[in-house]
Structure 1
Amino acid sequence: MFVLCIEAPRKDFLAMISHHLVTVMLIIFSFALNVTTFGTAVFVSMDLADIVLAFGKCLKYIEMPDSICDPIFACFMFIWIYTRHFLYGYIIYAWILYGGDYSSKLTHYVVIGLLLVLQSLMFFWLWSIFRIVYKMFANNTGVVDDRSDDEEEKPETSEQDNKQRIV
């Protein structure tokens, strides 16, 4: 969370902060309720896709061709859907059924609420992933992360403006 606060804010800054706060609260509950297996399952379902995403971003930063980066992004997308929606949905279902055995009724519902908030944030990012894929096919370009404002989005200057700056 510290890094999010010191780097340039992205368009999904509030979602990222919310995601990290909810995740920290779920970690605290998993330790406090002594259900670390549950906490570990949530952790693994969250981080598996991030490994592939980080690898793909590294390749993009070293300017590997799109023919290499795009399949890695596709791999990331399928892993994301499987782990963060299918497996994570199963974790939510399991907590709804069996989580009450480990906690009070109030705590049980608080954890369900946190799990559902996290799932809603992941649906927001899934929409962003689909938007990136749509732009990739519509513009016939490689994968481009549109969450941050970078140099490419600055208004272009004309050749005349560039000549005047040189002189």
Structure 2
Amino acid sequence: MILLPIVYFSYQTIERANANKPEGYKWPSLSDYKLMIVTTLLFMIIENSADYFFTPMFEKVCREQVDLEVRKVRSKKAIKNIYKGFYFIGTTTFAYMVLKGSYIMPPLLGGDDSFYDHFTHYPYWEHPKYYTEFYMTCMGYNMAGLLQELFFEDKGRNDYLEMLLHHVITVYLVVFGYATNIFMGAPVILVHNASDALICFVRTINESKYYAKNPIIFFPALFIWVYMRCITFPQLLYAVIFYTNHVYMPPLLMPLFRLCLCCLQCLHFYWTFLLFKIIYNFFFKGVADDLINKNKISSAEVSATVLKKQL
């Protein structure tokens, strides 16, 4: 229900900003979304093609070789994570190249400025080169994920509704950030994509017969995750809470947006707890394995048997 008032207040913001924009200023427009349509189709083709061509190949190195149904599930999951991992690496690099010289990038992300300046020139700030292309690429990926969930994924999975809701909210927030011309949306995407990249490859290795080697990549992935989601993102959230006010925005819009980000930060801390729980269970209980129930894959798992053998 919280999304409905955000839609209404966002519309008011866009109307006010468009009515007063300087001559020649390019406010985000519907024509920009043509690129999103192209990237959505492209990502759907890539994901389904990868699944079709590479899943049978991965089955040969899958850690499960007895139960063929479980082997197929694990292999499909591994290929999907390879696809996602390369996407996250690519868009993280893209985001850094687009944002590195902007006034919003703090030293935490390799810049020289601060999150606190994110509303300095709002709403008529100058977009960095390729900003629209970056946003439409990310929007297309998330839209493809939503369509994939609706039409191609197994609706019998135990996490189907959870993931569907995740995709709906993600697509909405990405569209919201772009349509209202909020610069902070781009660093939010950068933080999330950077922290997810290696985690995807941890999950992939975990599904293979080489899962015992997972600690080699698990600990760097954990470090990046904690750095981005538990150190960098809280500072971004602080800037949004205490350094965001503007006459073009209805009074309730930013409080609702802050609430969404606060909920997201709580999830970050919870997921980080699960990551450390994997380590704890291994060292103190001797167990660090995921459960795959035939054709069901749980999204709560971060990596199966991350630490199968002692380091």
Q: Give the TM-score taking structure 1 as reference length.
A: 0.72
- State the shift of 1:18 in Å: 4.3
Q: 1:82 aligned to 2:230?
A: no
Q: Distance in 1 between matches of 2:243 and 2:169?
A: 21
Within 5 Å, which residues of 2 pair with 1:120-135?
120-135=266-281
Within 5 Å, which residues of 2 pair with 1:21-100?
21-35=168-182, 37-66=183-212, 68-100=213-245
Aligned to 1:157: none
Answer 1 or 2: which has greater helix percent.
Answer: 1
Q: 1:149 aligns with which of 281, 288, 293?
A: 293
Taking a change above 3 Å as real, the CA distance of residues 60 and 79 of structure 1, as seen in their structure-2 partners, is same
- State the shift of 1:23 in Å: 2.6
Taking a change above 3 Å as real, the CA distance of residues 20 and 83 of structure 1, as seen in their structure-2 partners, is farther
Taking a change above 3 Å as real, the CA distance of residues 86 and 63 of structure 1, as seen in their structure-2 partners, is same
How many pairs are equivalent? 146
Taking a change above 3 Å as real, the CA distance of residues 138 and 4 of structure 1, as seen in their structure-2 partners, is farther
Taking a change above 3 Å as real, the CA distance of residues 53 and 84 of structure 1, as seen in their structure-2 partners, is same
Given that residues 19 and 118 in structure 1 are in contact (C-alpha distance below 8 angstroms), is that contact kept between their aligned partners in structure 2?
Answer: no
**What secondary structure does 2:209 align onto?**
coil
- State the shift of 1:34 in Å: 0.5
Taking a change above 3 Å as real, the CA distance of residues 65 and 32 of structure 1, as seen in their structure-2 partners, is closer
User: What 5-or-longer segments of structure 2 have no aligned partner?
Assistant: 1-145, 296-311
Q: Distance in 1 between matches of 2:197 and 2:245?
A: 32
Taking a change above 3 Å as real, the CA distance of residues 20 and 106 of structure 1, as seen in their structure-2 partners, is same
Given that residues 27 and 39 in structure 1 are in contact (C-alpha distance below 8 angstroms), is that contact kept between their aligned partners in structure 2?
Answer: yes
Q: Distance in 1 between matches of 2:161 and 2:283?
A: 26
Q: Give the TM-score taking structure 2 as reference length.
A: 0.41
Percent identity of paired positions between Structure 1 and Structure 2: 25
